[in-house]
Amino acid sequence: MSANEAGWGPKDVDVTLPSAARVYDYLLGGAHNFKVDRDLAEQVIQLLPTARQVASANRAFLRRAVRYLVGQGITQFLDLGSGSPTYGNVHEIAQDADSACRVLYVDYDEVAVAHSQMLLADNAATAVLDADLTRPGDVLDNQLTREFLDFDRPIGLLMIASLIYVRDDQDPRGVVAAYRDALPAGSYFALSHLTADHDPVAMAGVVEVMKNSQDPLYFRSYEDTLALFDGFELVEPGLVDSPIWRPDAGRPEPGPEGLYVGVARKR
C-alpha cells in the first residue's frame, strides 16, 4: 500500500521522484515511502552494503544526544530537517526523560510534513513547521517558532543528517551560524554528517545515485564538518565516528564508519 493509499500522504505528491527523507525512512525499516524510494534505497545498499547500519547508527546517535541534552537541562528542541517520523522520534525520547520537553520539527518534504502533522496532532508539546532550514529567517522569524519556543531559555538545536543535503554554495557554515546567533547562552547544537573520508569510492557511487532524487547528497570531510561547530564548544568526546560518541554500554561497540557526530554548547 502506498503512503497516499494509506490515507495520510498528500494526494498530489509526486510519486515518480524519490525523496531522501523517504529513502531514509525505508533504510530504517519504516513504511512511509513509495516504490521509487525503495528502489533507490536498494541501489544505495548495493553500493554501500552498510547503508542500513549507517542509518541505524544515525538514529542511535540522535537518541543518545537527546538524552544527553535533557540531562543538561534542555527541555525545548528545534529539530531542523526532521524527516519522516518513525519509531524513536525526538519528542518520544525527550518526553520519556522529562515530560516537560517541547519539540518543534522543521522540514520541507511534503510527505514528511504531512505525516508529522498527522502523527503529532494530539501532542500539544510538539509542533511542525513547513520550512526550508537553509533559509534561517523563514524558520526563526516564523510566528509558530516564536510562540512555541522560548528564546530566553536554552534550546537544543538538532541538525541530524540534514546538512548533507545543503550545497557548499548555500553556505552551510553561514546557515549554522545564523541559528547559533539566535540561540541563547547555554543552548546546545547536535550534528551528524555523512563523510566519504573512510570509503571514497563507495560514497562517490552513493552521491551519483542520489542525484536521481529530489535531494542530492553532499558529503564533507572531518575538517569541513568540524568547521560547522564554529562558535560552539564541543563536549567530550568531540567530533567522532558515531559509535564512539557516548555509547550506551560505556565503551564503543563495533559500528559502521562514514558518519561524524558531535554535540556542542553555546557559551
Q: Residue 80 falls within a domain, yes or no?
A: yes
Point out the least confidently predicted range of 88-92, 159-163, 182-186. 88-92
Q: Residue 170 falls within a domain, yes or no?
A: yes
Residue 1: which pLDDT band, with cuts at 50, 70 and 90?
A: very low
What's the structural domain count of the chain? 1
Cross-strand partners of 233:
265
Q: Residue 19 falls within a domain, yes or no?
A: no
Q: Residue 98 falls within a domain, yes or no?
A: yes
pLDDT for position 8: 46
User: 178-189 pLDDT, tens per residue?
Assistant: 999 999 999 999
Residues 117-138, buried b or exposed e (16+ Cβ, 10 A)?
Answer: bebbeeeebbbbbbbebbebeb
Average confidence score pLDDT of the chain: 92
Q: Residue 20 falls within a domain, yes or no?
A: no
Question: Quick one: which of 266, 249, 67, 90 has its CA closest to 179?
Answer: 266
Distance (Å) of CA 4 to CA 52, 107, 113, 209:
25, 19, 13, 25
pLDDT for position 16: 81
Q: Residue 251 falls within a domain, yes or no?
A: yes
Question: Residue 57 pLDDT > 50, yes or no?
Answer: yes
The mean per-residue pLDDT over the stretch 27-52 comes to: 93
Do 11 and 173 meet the contact criterion of CB atoms below 8 Å apart? Answer: no
User: 190-216 pLDDT, tens per residue?
Assistant: 999 999 999 999 999 999 999 989 899
Q: Residue 192 falls within a domain, yes or no?
A: yes
- Domain span at 101: 51-198+217-265
CATH number at 69 reads 3.40.50.150
Q: Residue 154 falls within a domain, yes or no?
A: yes
pLDDT for position 12: 60
Cβ-Cβ contacts under 8 Å for 65 (sequence gap 6 or more): 158, 160, 190, 245, 261, 263
Helices 35-47, 51-71: axis angle to 10 degrees equals 100
